[in-house]
Amino acid sequence: MGQLDGKVAIVTGAAQGIGRAIAEGLAREGADVVVADLNPPEDGIRADVSSEEDVARMVEETLKRHGRVDILVNNAGLYASLEMRAFTEIPLEEWNTVMEVNVASMFLTCRAVVPVMRDQGGGKIVNISSGTPFRGVPFLLHYVTSKGAIVALTRSLAKELGKDGIHVNCVAPGFTMSEGVKAHPEVVEKLRDASVAARTIQRDQVPEDVVGAVVFLCTPAADFVTGQTMVIDGGQFFH
Ligand SMILES: NC(=O)c1ccc[n+]([C@@H]2O[C@H](COP(=O)([O-])OP(=O)(O)OC[C@H]3O[C@@H](n4cnc5c(N)ncnc54)[C@H](O)[C@@H]3O)[C@@H](O)[C@H]2O)c1
């Protein structure tokens, strides 16, 4: 028997990388998982999480298929495709795109899902941030700022939704060898060895390393945990 039998989960950006590993982990615990992505697999849902219309359709389609939503994992985000450069060189348009895809998306998905969870008497939301806002990382100011905003969004939303039995938590991975990262050899070259060297557990971080924390936050074992951020980075940063 799985810990999430009978639960329905939406995982955004779950066609590959960390999102796919999370979707598989939730499914192993018995959840019915909806994979939402810009480029979804055959049985997934195509949705751009920065589009209000797409997000509304994603939730409607989930309800049509499964009748409920118990878990939302906000994982979709822009990272490895972003060029690392001095903040003075970041075009405003790129700054705005990062904020839309990484932060406004979570506002939109939570706004669409929370009424459903309220009607059901509760739910679990997990937002994927990053270790970068805790460490302060140069040359990716839009990204790091967006991931810091996710921690703030998590805490405030947790306070707002506690009375509804809706738990909101955050997981912040370190540099992870996802498909998105591996598709950018220049990023791997720049960050891989330095990240491993900075860790207590000195090996590559892989998408599966993040799964245990996310699954835990979605189970009844975490029913008294909300507003928290778990940094999963092999001991690179300590709170
Ligand atoms: N890889 C890392 O080092 C790392 C570290 C910390 C946090 N993160 C965060 O983890 C999350 C996943 O990262 P990853 O490295 O696995 O990414 P990835 O690039 O391997 O996968 C991202 C997935 O999200 C989808 N996606 C992108 N924009 C979307 C949109 N607008 N709407 C819907 N889907 C969209 C992509 O199609 C892709 O399937 C991101 O939020 C990222 O910021 C990654």
What is the CATH number for 213? 3.40.50.720
Active site residues: 143
In a domain, 187, yes or no: yes
Q: Could you tell me the CA-to-CA distances from 186 to 28, 57, 80, 83, 191 in Å, in that order?
A: 34, 36, 10, 10, 9
* Shortest-distance atom of ligand 1 to CA 39: 37
One digit per residue, the tens of pLDDT, for the chain of length 239 reads 899 999 999 999 999 999 999 999 999 999 999 999 999 999 999 999 999 999 999 999 999 999 999 999 999 999 999 999 999 999 999 999 999 999 999 999 999 999 999 999 999 999 999 999 999 999 999 999 999 999 999 999 999 999 999 999 999 999 999 999 999 999 999 999 999 999 999 999 999 999 999 999 999 999 999 999 999 999 999 97
In a domain, 236, yes or no: no
Those residues with Cβ within 8 angstroms of residue 110's Cβ, 6 or more apart along the chain or in another chain: 72, 74, 125, 157, 168
pLDDT at residue number 53: 98
Rounded Cα gap, residues 198 and 61, in angstroms: 43
pLDDT at residue number 19: 98
Return the residue matching tokens 């480029």: 39
Ligand 1 centre distance from Cα of residue 178 (Å): 8
In a domain, 106, yes or no: yes
Burial (CB count <10 Å: 0-12, 13-18, 19+), residue 222: middle
* Shortest-distance atom of ligand 1 to CA 79: 43
> Which amino acid type is present at position 198?
A
Domain count, the chain: 1
pLDDT at residue number 239: 79
In a domain, 14, yes or no: yes
Indicate the pairing of strand 123-128 with strand 166-173. parallel
Task: Give the domain extent around 38.
Answer: 8-231
pLDDT at residue number 101: 98
In a domain, 93, yes or no: yes
Ligand 1 centre distance from Cα of residue 131 (Å): 14
pLDDT at residue number 12: 99
* Shortest-distance atom of ligand 1 to CA 176: 3
pLDDT at residue number 42: 96
Residue of 12, 96, 178, 179 with the most ligand 1 atoms within 8 Å of its CB, for mutation: 178
Rounded Cα gap, residues 157 and 110, in angstroms: 9
Specify the residue with its C-alpha closest to ligand 1, atom 25. 13
Residue of 79, 96, 147 with the most ligand 1 atoms within 8 Å of its CB, for mutation: 79
In a domain, 1, yes or no: no
Specify the residue with its C-alpha closest to ligand 1, atom 7. 130
Rounded Cα gap, residues 219 and 7, in angstroms: 10
Exposure string for 116-152, b = 16+ CB within 10 A, e = fewer: bbeeeeebbbbbbbbbbbbeebeebbbbbbbbbbbbe
In a domain, 101, yes or no: yes
In a domain, 200, yes or no: yes
What lines the ligand 1 site, CB under 6 Å?
Answer: 12-13, 15-19, 37-39, 47-50, 75-77, 79-80, 101, 128, 130, 173, 175-176, 178-181
